[in-house]
Structure 1
Amino acid sequence: MTIPGKGSRPITVDGVAYRWRIRRKPTYSQGNGWSPMTFAVQPAEGPGRALLVSLPFFRPDAWLGARTTAVRPALVAAAVRLALRRGWDPRRPGPAFACDVTEDDLAAMPGGPPAYEVPFPRR
C-alpha cells in the first residue's frame, strides 16, 4: 500500500522521515459513526510497510454528532512510536500494519488529545 503524495504531510519521528494522511472524505461507515477515525503513515523514502492507525474517536465531519478530536502531528508521532513498540517495521515490505489506539494508550501519550462532543445540528 502506498500513500499518495498529494494531500499527505511529512513528519519526522526520532530522526526518521514519514508521510501521513487522513482520507479526504469519510467513508459511509465513518460518516454514520459506525467506524472510527483512521489515518495512514508510511516511510517517506523507498518501499516499506504502511501503518494504519485507528483512534477511539470519530471524524469531525461525521454526519451525526459523535465524540471526536483533531489529529495533530504530536498525535501522529505518538502513534508511530506506539506502533514501533508493537512490532511495526516500516522498512520491511508487506501488508499494512494495523494499530488500534485505545483510551489507555491516549492517556499515556504526552498531551493526549482532548475529545469533545459534537452537538447535533439544530433544524
Structure 2
Amino acid sequence: MTLVKRGSRLITVDGVVYRWRVRRRPTYPQAVAVSPLSFAVERAEGRGSVLIATMPGTHPSNWVGTGSAIPVVPSIVAAVIRRAREQGWRPDRPGPAFSLAVSRAIWAETSST
C-alpha cells in the first residue's frame, strides 16, 4: 500500500524523509463524527509499511460541527512518527499497515513547544 502523492506533504524526521497525508474529504463515519480523524505516513523513497495514525478528535470537515477537531500539523506528525518507531513501526520493511492511536498527551506535548 502506498500513499497518493497528490495532496501529500514531505517531512524529515531524524534524517529520514517521510510523506504524510490527511484525507481532504472525511469518510462518512468521520463526517457524522462517529469515527476520528486519521492520517497516513510512509517513507518518501522505497516501499514499506504504512503508518495509520488516529487522532483523538474529529475530522475538521465533519457535518455535525463538533468542536473536538485537532489540526494535524508537522510537529504532531513528527512526534507520531517517533512514537510509532519506538513502538515497532518499520517503515523500511514491507508489511501490513501499522496503527497508532494518538493521545491528547502527544498533542499537548507538541503544542506547548
Name stretches of at least 5 consecutive residues in structure 1 with no aligned partner: 113-123
Aligned pairs (5 A) from 1:76-115: 76-107=77-108, 109-111=109-111
Query: Percent same amino acid at aligned positions?
Result: 48
1:88, 1:105 → 2: CA distance? 17
2:105, 2:73 → 1: CA distance? 18
Aligned pairs (5 A) from 1:44-123: 44-66=44-66, 67-107=68-108, 109-111=109-111
The answer (yes or no) to whether the contact 2:76–2:106 under 8 Å persists in 1 is: no
1:70, 1:103 → 2: CA distance? 12
Name stretches of at least 5 consecutive residues in structure 2 with no aligned partner: none
1:110 is matched by which residue type in structure 2?
T
1:89, 1:69 → 2: CA distance? 26
Would you say how many aligned residue pairs link Structure 1 and Structure 2? 112
- Secondary structure (helix, strand or coil) at the match of 1:68 reads coil
- Secondary structure (helix, strand or coil) at the match of 2:7 reads coil
Residues 79-121 of structure 1, C-alpha deviations (whole Å, 9 max, x = no match): 10111111101111011100011223333x3326xxxxxxxxx
**TM-score, normalising length from structure 2?**
0.93
